Structure 1
Amino acid sequence: MLITHPRVMLMNVQWMDATARFCGSLTSLFPKVFFSTVNIWTLYALLSEVCYNQISLQSERPGVAILVGLIGVFLHVMCAYTYFMVVIVGGGSPSDFPELRIRNLDSLKANSQDPPEFQEQDQLLGDTEADVYRDVPPTQWVDFHITRPGTSPYRYCLKCKVWKPDRCHHCSSCNRCVLRMDHHCPWFATCIGYHNQKLFIQNLMYIGMYSGFCLVVSAVYLFSFFHHQEYEAGYLSLRLVFLFIVSLVFFVTIGVFGMFSMWLVFRNTTTIEFQDQRWSWGDKASSRSSGPNIFDLGARNNWVSVMGNHWVYWVLPVQFTQKDIASPVNGINSVVDEEAYDEWCQSVRAQEQLNKQLREYRDGLRGVEGEDRNV
């Protein structure tokens, strides 16, 4: 039976939307619950089994037990705090700045037409549905570097209705544009971008230190248990074994991923840019990623641009970025290597010239084929 009554169809649509939102909330909630559960359980196992049972009771060293417990609690708190700060702060979006919002997208699209000579460049340098050529660009707020040389192109997002600065991408999972988007992390159910990348790196560092600390402590007492053949007179604690296994898994996985993430920071390359450069997915991606990395300012300057210019920012989860349009650390503009940028522009101009020659050659072949048909 075909349902055609508008009220019935509207109720079905509302029910489907509510179901989709509920499933989305569960998907977003699961990683947070999983992380909190594992983090709390490891602290419980560390304090109850290692500090209290192994050190305080059996070894009769309460001072060492207190010290180990304090270190474990500190690392546990820092892991939890940096994790949830990554989610709360978010990557940042052009939508946070009223100056970058497009008030009338239809009027903008109607009044913006690329000259014919830029049509090939659209395919080379940007999204054809998100590039616009205007005579009066918002140069007072946004400096564009990865653009067509000698022109005033601006990328904008049709869904968010905002101007898109360099390194800004639209995330389909978060349904918003993210400034200097690195990647969408399912374990945080949010995007890693300009404002929370430092917190993300710190979270990986603290999880690595916490899991490494638990791994070493549990390994010491497991080794002592088998070395002194304590299994002949007693039983091995399963909490100690599970703590060792969980710590080992997290230490290896988070350690490898953390080193890779810090390597990207030292190169001032996002995960998206790394994938484009590594795999060259599609003609548009390969053309954008070809040439030198214009954002690479040297290892120290790259690290400072993400983690802050003082060691306090590197160690503590203290924010130094701002969501102020007048601030130099708002994520809208990026400092570039001028020499690398000039080299990149020359590469783009050479590619434009090649595209022009290929287009003329193709048109010439079509003309010859047309004459042959007429004959």
Structure 2
Amino acid sequence: MALSRALRCCQRVFSWIPVIIISSVVLWSYYAYVFELCFAFTLSNTYMAYLLIFHVCFIMFCWTYWKAIFTPPSTPSKKFHLSYSDKERYEMEERPDAQKQILTEIAKKLPIFTRAQSGAVRFCDRCQVIKPDRCHHCSVCETCVLKMDHHCPWVNNCVGFSNYKFFLLFLSYSMIYCVFIASTVFQYFLKFWVGDLPNGPAKFHVLFLLFVALMFFVSLMFLFAFLLIDLCGSYFWCGLFNLKERSCFSEAFSAPVFQNGPDRNGFNVGLSRNLRQVFGEDKKLWFIPVFTSQGDGHYFPLRTLCESENPLLANEGKWMEDGGSDEENENGPSVIIRMES
């Protein structure tokens, strides 16, 4: 037991290494750009403008990165956990078919559309919770995460319902940060090749700034493009790439299963609504890392189904009257998204 606890402690310590690496590179880039580039050379009006734009990009990058790291993943509310009596009844039953029937009876009180590949209600034995739609268990965080996308080692956190917007903004501002540095440093890279750049420590900082900025930009561009394709759905991106809206790594490789079978496009409700689900209704807040996503993360609008077509939603009103989602108390007011045909 003590050895297992020590291993888990070491794992948690080592999991922060990628974050430390990114933070160190960013801090070095700040020093190299501000002190070695702007202050080492003549500080003209052009450099004052560079410094202003640089600090705006730097602040937004740090803000979004902080939010992506330290926003805890949203977990299913208590309504999706088995009660003591249901848990006892489920564990005492040894027949798989009987266990499946018990979960089906419990799920009738919950807003659930998706099923497991076998057709059974999705249930996590480790968390003892009936999984809401798009919810998956993260083996790193050791918990079920609402609308789980993937576990990202570079933020040491699960990307899911609570921080999906922050992660997208983090990628966006990271690329803007890299592009700005590369575009303003490129002229000194040219001077280096023709021998016009004076010798000194600033020379090497400037050269490394360009290479690091370009390297990070290319890496981030592929991940951001993949997430953007997933988010925007079939209206534009899928016309080019023949892809559908889905949650990046969890649904891109395993289509959600509905009562009528698997459907990779099941949660695609169009470009506009897909964007509003993540960024909210107020477009003035889209580019600011404050939580504005719609819903409470427990259920999402579907492309083809409506509430009346799903028997599992017959008691949704009762589910809400009995207390609704505990996420409302934990993460602020929730916005209920009604299904539309």
Deviation of residue 340 (structure 1)?
10
What does the per-residue CA deviation read over 1:300-341, in whole Å, with 9 as the maximum and x for residues that have no partner?
A: 2112211222322321101124xxxxxx61100110012699
Q: 2:269 aligns with which of 280, 283, 297?
A: 297
Task: Quickly say closer, same or farther: Cα 1:90–1:262, change in 2 above 3 A.
Answer: farther
Decide which of 77, 81, 88 is 1:101's aligned counterpart: 81
Distance of 1:234 and 1:74 partners within structure 2: 30
- Bigger Rg over Cα: 1
Q: Matched residues in 1 for 2:138 and 2:260: separation?
A: 19
Number of the residue aligned with 1:78: 60
Q: In 2, distance between residues paired with 1:133 and 1:248?
A: 51
Match of 2:208, SS state, is helix
- Give the corresponding residue for 1:67: 49
Instruction: Give 1:43 deviation, angstroms.
Output: 0.9
More helix by proportion, 1 or 2?
1
- Cα distance in 2 for residues equivalent to 1:130 and 1:320: 37
Counterpart of 1:222 in structure 2: which amino acid?
A: F
Deviation at 1:131, TM superposition (A): 8.0
Are the aligned partners of 2:60 and 2:173 in contact in 1 as well (CA < 8 Å)?
A: yes
Tell me which of 251, 262, 266 is aligned to 1:273: 251
Closer, same or farther: CA 131–307 of 1 in aligned 2, 3 Å = farther
Cα–Cα, structure 1 residues 340 and 253, in superposed 2: closer, same or farther, change >3 Å? farther
In structure 2, do the counterparts of structure 1 residues 272 and 342 end up closer, same or farther at CA, with 3 Å as the change threshold?
A: farther
> Does 2:52 correspond to 1:52?
no
Question: How many residues were matched structurally?
Answer: 294
Per-residue CA deviations over 1:186-231 (Å, capped at 9, x if unaligned) read: 112221111111100000001000011111111122224445x415
Q: Which amino acid in 2 is paired with 1:300?
A: S
Of 277, 280, 290 in structure 2, the residue corresponding to residue 308 of structure 1 is: 280
| Distance change in 2, residues 1:55/1:90 (3 Å) | farther
What SS does structure 2 have at the residue aligned with 1:338?
coil
Aligned to 2:130: 163
Root-mean-square deviation (Å): 3.3
Secondary structure of the corresponding residue to residue 78 of structure 1: helix
Q: Does 1:334 align with 2:306?
A: no
Query: 2:230 maps to which residue?
Result: 264
- Equivalent residue in structure 2 for 1:245, among 197, 205, 211: 211
Identical positions, percent: 25
2:13 maps to 26
How far, CA to CA, are the matches of 1:274 and 1:238 in structure 2?
42
1:145 aligns with 2:113: yes
Report the TM-score, using the length of structure 2 for normalisation: 0.76
Q: Would you say the 8 A contact 2:252–2:264 is kept in 1?
A: no
TM-score between the two structures when normalised by the length of structure 1: 0.69
After superposition, the Cα gap between the structure-2 partners of 1:291 and 1:136, relative to the gap in structure 1 and judged at 3 Å, is: closer
Tell me, yes or no, if the aligned pair for 1:90 and 1:192 is still in contact at 8 Å. Answer: no
State whether residues 144 and 165 of structure 1, in contact with CA within 8 Å, keep that contact through their aligned partners in structure 2: yes
Task: Determine the C-alpha separation between the residues in 2 that align with 1:260 and 1:288.
Answer: 28
Question: How far apart in 2 are the matches of 1:130 and 1:73?
Answer: 56
Task: Tell me, yes or no, if structure 1 residue 201 matches structure 2 residue 168.
Answer: yes
Structure 1 pair 306/26, CA: closer, same or farther in 2 (3 Å)?
same
Deviation at 1:242? 0.8
Code of the aligned partner of 1:295: F
Label 1:99 to 1:48 Cα distance change in 2 as closer, same or farther (>3 A). Answer: same
**How far apart in 1 are the matches of 2:42 and 2:261?**
55
Distance of 2:97 and 2:302 partners within structure 1: 28
Within 5 A, what are the aligned runs for 1:185-224? 185-224=152-191
Aligned partner of 1:98: which letter? K
Q: Residues 135 and 18 (structure 1 numbering): CA distance in 2 closer, same or farther, change over 3 Å?
A: closer
User: Are 1:55 and 1:64, in contact at CA under 8 Å, matched by a contact in 2?
Assistant: no
Asked if the contact 1:114–1:132 (Cα under 8 Å) also holds between the matched residues in 2, the reply is: no
The separation in 1 between residues aligned to 2:107 and 2:145, in whole angstroms, is 21
Unaligned regions of 5+ residues in structure 2, if any?
234-244, 311-341
Higher relative contact order (CA 8 A, sep 6+): 2
**Displacement of 1:112 after TM fit?**
9.6
Q: Which runs of 5+ in 1 are unaligned?
A: 1-12, 117-128, 278-283, 322-327, 345-375
